[in-house]
Structure 1
């Protein structure tokens, strides 16, 4: 229900009560003046009734205006609070999203660094294995060459 609908409902509820009050007030005024037959007194009573009615109307209008203003202020405060809460939630969500993004960047950087370190370690291991392999092959070739030369020399000497 919108605030206009609430205000219209309040006004629609108050108007019949107001008219009933005026009717009762008018009856009271006319009943007290019932024994007066002078036309002037009846006109004076009508003027007094009109003035009192105008005052009551002004008071009721002022009360309705105050109620309307108060309800509008409450609605505005509630809307402002909801908007502020939504903004805070959005800010918290943005902070959380930024934290998640920062964590993702940090995790990605850590994974990248770990991958680089692992790759470097693998490269060092490959180089070490390659050096050892080349050394073993070189020693084997030299050993085979020395054995071959020795065998040839021994064979040549024996013959």
Structure 2
């Protein structure tokens, strides 16, 4: 797809915004993933693996999109300077913007689902019984 002047100008302005939004989202989202939670032996393997897998998938997805956004921004700036761009540069710009929008919406949803799954696997501490409460068998 040939890149028009309008697409190049729009892409040159919006691509850095999407890149910044992606970085801010990653930092905020993965700040909620502490890898130092108190796991028991039964849940340590599963929960730790889920946390690590979520971090790897999230950073890899955004890392790939960031590289794609850099290439798209490069094509936009070349087109605005009047230099030649490849024939598929317009498609690269449009697709990089579309994918970054999808990731901006989808990754927080996936991360929250993963955090809920990890919370289900996390052992809950047993309540301390100080002898204040009587069991049902002692009352009857």
Which range, TM-score by smaller chain?
0.3 to 0.5
Q: Which has the higher contact order (CA 8 A, sep 6+)?
A: 2
Which structure has the greater CA radius of gyration? 1
TM-score after normalising by structure 1: 0.32
